[in-house]
């Protein structure tokens, strides 16, 4: 079983009941406190992770193509903060020092991310909202190839995120170095207005997993900041008949893919699923 599928299975298994705080829309004027219960942790192995206490998250360093990776990649958990309205956010980093190799320059080496562990395995229509904010800076000291994205998995069966009946949904916010989505070519659909811009949908099968990937790419990329309700993304795909509103959301996360380059991404993420 590919390590990517193993990681998805782990994320799905961590789903638990979560009393979610209020929407992030109320967070901008709030004060924050920083949690120090868990020490800052460097995750540098091929499948290193830390489950964050009193939070809905796991921080994961996923090197699913470690065998063709020349160099190192670490995901760093820094800290968590809680706003006065109860909204939690996590500060984390992705540090890539991966050499360019011509024969594998189009092979993604892995994914550094924060994944949800709570309120998964619910249908789209059972979810009231998925409030999120994602703020990042990237410092490249060489040419870098990769992206900033959200990555969700759905299936008509609760808890199934590994079979070929699953669907992988990607919302690309920013990308560089010539990275292209699976199914690149003529888009299968367009969305005129979502999160303040228009989008193109590309679809194709990941030959490593057999899972269909539906990637939305913005016509105007986001420059270090994104905020919105990700249920709007899911409903937009429902309207395009990608899946039905009765499908289950089994995996949800936000992170960065990397192919090659020396780069440090510093990020702060708020992400949760609120149930109806």
3 state SS for the chain:
CCHHHHHHHHHHHCCECCCCCCCHHHCCCCCEEEECCCCCEEECCCEEEEECCCCCEEEEEECCCHHHCCEEEEEEEEEEEEECCCCEEEEEEEEEEECCCHHHCCCCCEEEEEEECECCCEEHHHEEECEEEEEEEEEECCCCEEEEEEEEEEECCCCCCCCCCCEEEEEEEEEECCCCCCCCCCCCEEEEEECCEEEEEEEEECCCCCCEEEEEEECCCCCCEEEEECHHHHHHHHHCCCCCCCCEEEEEEEEEEEEEEEEEEEEEEEECCEEC
This prediction has a pTM of 0.89
pLDDT of residue 111: 98
Q: Are 149 and 218 in contact (CB under 8 A)?
A: no
Bridge partners (DSSP) listed for residue 228:
132
pLDDT of residue 13: 60
pLDDT of residue 83: 86
Tens-place pLDDT, residues 137-167: 999 999 999 999 999 999 999 999 999 999 9
> Can you give the residue ranges of every domain in the chain?
3-275
What is the CATH number assigned to the segment(s) 3-275? 2.60.120.180
Low-confidence residues of the chain, pLDDT below 70? 1-37
């Amino acid at each position: 079983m590919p390590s990517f599928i193993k990681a998805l299975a782990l994320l799905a298994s961590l789903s638990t009941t979560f009393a979610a705080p209020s929407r992030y829309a109320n967070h901008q004027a709030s004060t924050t406190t920083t949690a120090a219960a868990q020490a800052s942790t460097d995750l540098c192995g091929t499948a290193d992770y830390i489950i964050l206490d009193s939070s809905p998250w796991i921080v994961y360093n996923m090197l699913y193509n470690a065998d063709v990776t020349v160099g190192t990649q670490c995901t760093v958990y820094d800290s968590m903060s809680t706003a006065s309205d109860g909204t939690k956010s996590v500060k984390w980093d992705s540090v890539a020092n991966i050499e360019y190799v011509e024969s594998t320059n189009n092979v993604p080496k892995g994914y550094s991310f924060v994944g949800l562990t709570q309120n998964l395995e619910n249908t789209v229509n059972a979810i009231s909202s998925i409030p999120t904010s994602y703020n990042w800076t990237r410092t490249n000291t060489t040419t870098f190839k990769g992206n900033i994205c959200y990555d969700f998995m759905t299936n008509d069966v609760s808890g199934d995120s590994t079979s070929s009946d699953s669907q992988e949904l990607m919302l690309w916010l920013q990308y560089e170095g010539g990275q292209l989505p699976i199914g690149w070519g003529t888009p299968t659909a367009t969305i005129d207005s979502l999160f303040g811009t228009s989008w193109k949908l590309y679809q194709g099968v990941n030959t490593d997993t057999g899972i269909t990937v539906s990637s939305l790419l913005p016509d105007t990329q986001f420059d270090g900041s994104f905020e919105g309700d990700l249920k709007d993304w899911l409903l937009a795909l429902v309207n395009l008949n990608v899946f039905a509103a009765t499908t289950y959301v089994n995996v949800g996360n936000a992170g960065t893919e990397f192919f090659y380059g020396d780069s440090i991404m510093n990020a702060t993420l708020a992400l949760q699923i609120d149930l109806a």
